[in-house]
Amino acid sequence: MKKFRFGLVGCGRISENHIRAFKDHHGECELVAVCDSVPDRVRAAAEAVGEAGGHPVTPYTDYAEMLKVEKLDAISVCTPSGMHAAHGIMAANAGLHVVTEKPMAITLEQCDSLIQACDRNQVQLLVVKQNRLNTTMQLLKRAIDKERFGRIYGAYVNVFWQRPQSYYDQAKWRGTWEFDGGAFMNQASHYVDALHWLIGEVDSVMAFTGTLARRIEAEDSGSAIFRFRNGAIGSMNVSMLTYPKNMEGSITIIGEKGTVKLGGIAVNKFEKWEFAEYDDDDKLVMESNYEPPNVYGFGHTAYYKNVLDVLRGRGEANTDGRSGRKSLELILAVYKSARDRQQVALPL
């Protein structure tokens, strides 16, 4: 069986999750080249990948050169958010499949350009939304698909994490509008995606955001209220100022025939699971809970399994470019509402 040859651009902290996933899927793919603008960082990443995989990995500081020299099948984009689209488009124009970290872009114009480039070059575009594949999230999604809640009345999200000033000071791009966005765009984007994935299309948004404590351009805190097209009302509260450390990443769904709260530090354990009618899935609740090493969880390995299934033609993408666009549009609606101090209808 052919091994897919991947390159990776951007060797910051999220790249470690991708590198671990490549190691876990070493029988089907291998990471053969890495790129970063910081020489010491890219050399360290190449050495770490080579030691873990038992094969040499070539480091590059010039992304265009890597695309030209290496014989690759796909690129994993782990650069700052504002560069995702540009780096993805370069890969697509080189005929490579694109796996990009969230968010896939920070403007709809960037997003659409990336989608169009991948369509034009007939390559796959896959957006990393690994939380969908967590055991807890899969069980909750199945309960919704089975209509166990009956009519869903509300969906409520809390993301109470801690990002100290030192986190933003580690890289000049963090917290900027050009390359990052704030708490909704970066840290909470998986939860925005979860709301859309679980409940459906949003009709309108009303939001407030603020930069209360961190020295950054974008927001460190905010709250949003959503009205879904199915009539449900939802809310999302986000803070990167939680003292003294990450406290909660939760989703609560209240329905006609059931109530569920999926909580923990990052939707990793059920705190309430109650339905009017029994289902065999009820026996799986406790065993689906897990303790993640960090807020990223274990989802990248499962996500790359889906990537490989798509590339081999044996599965559909869990999150393609058009699906990834939905959550970006919702985040931008939050920002527009907060900026203009008015309710914003979707689509934008």
pTM, two decimals, is: 0.95
DSSP character string of 247-316: -EEEEEEEESSEEEEEETTTT-EEEEEEESS--GGGGGHHHH----SSTTTTHHHHHHHHHHHHHTTSS-
- Domains 4-127 and 132-292+327-345 belong to one CATH topology: no
| Domain edges within the chain | 4-127, 132-292+327-345
Handedness of CA 10, 11, 14, 16 (dihedral sign): positive
4-127: in CATH 3.40.50.620 = no
Encode the chain (348 residues) as per-residue pLDDT tens digits: 889 999 999 999 999 999 999 999 999 999 999 999 999 999 999 998 987 777 889 999 999 999 999 999 999 999 999 999 999 999 999 999 999 999 999 999 999 999 999 999 999 999 999 899 999 999 999 999 999 999 999 999 999 999 999 999 999 999 999 999 999 999 999 999 999 999 999 999 999 999 999 999 999 999 999 999 999 999 999 999 999 999 999 999 999 999 999 999 999 999 999 999 999 999 999 999 998 776 666 689 999 999 999 999 999 999 999 999 999 999 999 999 999 999 999 999
CATH number of 132-292+327-345: 3.30.360.10
